[in-house]
C-alpha cells in the first residue's frame, strides 16, 4: 500500500477549489508551493548517559503575511510531508478567519511519553537554538505555538531560550500558547475546542441545513462522538455538552468508552491522566477497537486526534449526520467525496479548528502592545454602568441589589474580551463560508479553500509580485 501523502491530499482540495476561480496558473502555483522547509538533526544525551540523534522540521508555507504562524508537534509520526501539509493548512486557515499570518508548522520526531521532563526540556531548547541560528523564529518572522504532544510548558522553554539569545523588546511575541505568567493569554488552552463549539453551534442553528439532514435545529439533544480527549477534544465536548448535546462516546488510542446516557468527560479525563489510558474506566461500555467508534451512529462526529482517520476504506461505514473536523486533515479527499455523496455535512478543519490560531493572534497582539486586554477600560465601563443603573433607580424608583450591580455592571476582563473576539471570528467566518458555498453551489470545504485562495491571491497582487 502506498504511503499516505498528506501534502498531496491538501493540494487536491486546493485544486478542486481553484477550478472555480479565474486566477492565473502561475499565481496559483505560488500560493500552493511551500516557501521553505528546514530539517535539523541534533544529538540528545539521555538521562542514563546514552546519546541518540533526533530529527526536527520547520516549514514556512507562505510569507504573503508576516510573521508566519503554526504549532510544533512532538510525535513519532512527524516527517517532512506532514509538517509541510500542516503549514499549508495554516496558511488557508488563517486566511479563512482573516488572521493576518502566513502559514507555518514544526515538529520533532519523538514520543514524549518515553522521555523525562528534563530530556524534553533539552530537546525543546536545542530545537529552539537551531531555529534561532537560521532566523526561523521571532515575533516578526515565525511564531510557534503548542500542537499535538506539546503544551504551554514547552512554549515557556522556547521563550526563555529565545530571550537568552535575542535582545528584543518584543521577545514575548516569539511564541504563543505560553503560561499566563509569561505573557500568555486567558482562554488560549481551550480556544480550539471553544471555537469548534461556536462553529458547530452556527451549523446546527441553520434550519434549512438541519432539515436536509433530518435533524432538529440547535445543539440540544444532539448525540456526539469525539475522537481524542486532548485539549481540543475535551473542550469541544465540554462546551457542546454545556449547550445541551449528549457526549455518547469518546475514542482514545487505547480504546473507547460508549455511554448512551452521556459520558462524564471530566471524570474520564481525570482517569486518563491518572492511569495513562481509558481502560478500566468504571462507567459506560469499553470498546476495544477505538477506530470502530468512528462508525457508530451519532448526530455529530468530531475527529480531534490526527490526520487520515477516515479514508476510502471506512468512509462508507460512517454513520454520522455531521462531521466536525477538530483535527487537521482527519478525512482523506477520497473519504470526503464518499461522505458528501451520503449527504453528510462536513464542517472543515481549515475553518472549524481555527480557534487556536485566532486566540494565538490575540496573544501576539497583547505581547507586542505590552498591555493586558481590559486594563485600560474595564473600570471605566464598570463605573459608567453603575452611573446608568443609579440613574434608572432615580427615574423609576426601582432598586437594584448589590448582586445586580455586580452582575450587570461587570466590566469585561481579558477572558471576556478574548471569548468575545473568538466567537465573533467563528460566527462571521461560518456565515461567509455558507454564503460562498451557496454562491458556487459547492460544499463547505471547497468554499473555505475558495475564500482562502482569493484572499491570499489578493495579498500577493498587492505586494506587486504578480501585477
Q: Is residue 53 part of a domain?
A: yes
pLDDT at 236 over 90: yes
Residue 2 pLDDT:
53
Residue 16 pLDDT:
95
Q: Do 57 and 124 fall within a single domain?
A: yes
Residue burial 370-404, b: 16+ Cβ < 10 Å; e: rest: eebbbeeebeeebeeeeeebeeeeeeeeeebeeee
**pLDDT one-digit tens code per residue, 156-190:** 999 999 999 999 999 999 999 999 999 999 999 99
Domain of 289, CATH number, reads: 3.40.50.720
The neighbouring-strand residues paired with 180 are none
Q: Is residue 390 part of a domain?
A: no
Number of structural domains the chain divides into? 2
- Per 3-state DSSP, the chain is made up of helix, strand and coil in percentages (nearest 5) of 50, 15, 35
Q: What are phi and psi of 442, to 5 degrees?
A: -140, -175
**pLDDT one-digit tens code per residue, 45-56:** 999 999 999 999
Confidence band (pLDDT; 50, 70, 90) for 3? low
Residue 465 pLDDT:
61
Instruction: Count the Cβ atoms, other than its own, within 10 Å of residue 169.
Output: 9
Sign of CA dihedral 17, 102, 75, 3: positive
Q: What are phi and psi of 143, to 5 degrees?
A: -120, 105
pLDDT at 467 over 60: no
Provide the terminal-to-terminal Cα distance of the chain, rounded to the nearest Å.
44
Percent above pLDDT 70 for the chain: 99
Residue with cell 515575533: 139
pLDDT at 93 over 90: yes
Q: DSSP 3-state assignment of 319?
A: coil
Lowest mean pLDDT among 107-111, 286-290, 320-324, 462-466: 462-466
Residue 400 pLDDT:
82
Residue with cell 463605573: 383
- Selecting among 32, 69, 105, 223, the annotated active-site residue is 105
Q: Do 179 and 204 fall within a single domain?
A: no
Annotated catalytic, 178? no
**pLDDT one-digit tens code per residue, 126-165:** 999 999 999 999 999 999 999 999 999 999 999 999 999 9
**pLDDT one-digit tens code per residue, 273-314:** 888 888 888 888 988 888 889 999 999 999 998 888 899 999
Confidence band (pLDDT; 50, 70, 90) for 466? low
Residue 291 pLDDT:
86
Q: Do 75 and 156 fall within a single domain?
A: yes
Q: What are phi and psi of 439, to 5 degrees?
A: -65, -40
Separation of alpha carbons 304 and 326, rounded Å: 4
Q: Do 192 and 167 fall within a single domain?
A: no
pLDDT at 205 over 60: yes
Separation of alpha carbons 407 and 403, rounded Å: 6
**pLDDT one-digit tens code per residue, 392-412:** 888 888 888 878 777 887 878
Q: Do 248 and 368 fall within a single domain?
A: yes
Residue with cell 485562495: 453
Amino acid at each position: 500500500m502506498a504511503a499516505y501523502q498528506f501534502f498531496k491530499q491538501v493540494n487536491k482540495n486546493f485544486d478542486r477549489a481553484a477550478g472555480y476561480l479565474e486566477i492565473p496558473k502561475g499565481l496559483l502555483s505560488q500560493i500552493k508551493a511551500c516557501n521553505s522547509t528546514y530539517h535539523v538533526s541534533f544529538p540528545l544525551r539521555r538521562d542514563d548517559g546514552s546519546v541518540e540523534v533526533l530529527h526536527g522540521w520547520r516549514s514556512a508555507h507562505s510569507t504573503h503575511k508576516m510573521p508566519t504562524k503554526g504549532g510544533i508537534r512532538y510525535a513519532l509520526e512527524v516527517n517532512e510531508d506532514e509538517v509541510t501539509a500542516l503549514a499549508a493548512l495554516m496558511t488557508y486557515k488563517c486566511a479563512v478567519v482573516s488572521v493576518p499570518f502566513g502559514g507555518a508548522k514544526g515538529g520533532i520526531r519523538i514520543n514524549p511519553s518515553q522521555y523525562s521532563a528534563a530530556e524534553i526540556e533539552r530537546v525543546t531548547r536545542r530545537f529552539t537554538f537551531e531555529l534561532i541560528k537560521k532566523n526561523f523564529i521571532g515575533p516578526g518572522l515565525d511564531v510557534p505555538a503548542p500542537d499535538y504532544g506539546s503544551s504551554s510548558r514547552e512554549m515557556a522553554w522556547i521563550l526563555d531560550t529565545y530571550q537568552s539569545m535575542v535582545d528584543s523588546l518584543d521577545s514575548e511575541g516569539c511564541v504563543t500558547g505560553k503560561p499566563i505568567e509569561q505573557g500568555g493569554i486567558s482562554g488560549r488552552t481551550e480556544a480550539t475546542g471553544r471555537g469548534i463549539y461556536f462553529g458547530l453551534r452556527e451549523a446546527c442553528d441553520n434550519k434549512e441545513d438541519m432539515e436536509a439532514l433530518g435533524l432538529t435545529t440547535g445543539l440540544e439533544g444532539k448525540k456526539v462522538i469525539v475522537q481524542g480527549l486532548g485539549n481540543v477534544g475535551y473542550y469541544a465536548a465540554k462546551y457542546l455538552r454545556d449547550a445541551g448535546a449528549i457526549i455518547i462516546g469518546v475514542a482514545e488510542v487505547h480504546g473507547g468508552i460508549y455511554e448512551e446516557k452521556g459520558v462524564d468527560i471530566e471524570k474520564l479525563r481525570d482517569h486518563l491522566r491518572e492511569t495513562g489510558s481509558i481502560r478500566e474506566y468504571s462507567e459506560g461500555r469499553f470498546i476495544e477497537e477505538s477506530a470502530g467508534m468512528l462508525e457508530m451512529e451519532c448526530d455529530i462526529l468530531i475527529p480531534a486526534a490526527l490526520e487520515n482517520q477516515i479514508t476510502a476504506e471506512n468512509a462508507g461505514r460512517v454513520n454520522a449526520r455531521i462531521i466536525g473536523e477538530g483535527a487537521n486533515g482527519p478525512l482523506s479527499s477520497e473519504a470526503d467525496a464518499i461522505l458528501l455523496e451520503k449527504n453528510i455535512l462536513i464542517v472543515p478543519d481549515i475553518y472549524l479548528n481555527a480557534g487556536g490560531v485566532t486566540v494565538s493572534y490575540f496573544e501576539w497582539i497583547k505581547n507586542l502592545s505590552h498591555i493586558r486586554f481590559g486594563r485600560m477600560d474595564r473600570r471605566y465601563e464598570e463605573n459608567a454602568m453603575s452611573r446608568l443603573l443609579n440613574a434608572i433607580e432615580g427615574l423609576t424608583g426601582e432598586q437594584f441589589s448589590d448582586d445586580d450591580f455586580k452582575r450587570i455592571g461587570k466590566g469585561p476582563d481579558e477572558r471576556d474580551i478574548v471569548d468575545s473576539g473568538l466567537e465573533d471570528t467563528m460566527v462571521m467566518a461560518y456565515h461567509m463560508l455558507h454564503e460562498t458555498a451557496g454562491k458556487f453551489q459547492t460544499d463547505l470545504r471547497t468554499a473555505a479553500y475558495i475564500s482562502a485562495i482569493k484572499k491570499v491571491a489578493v495579498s500577493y497582487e498587492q505586494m506587486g509580485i504578480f501585477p
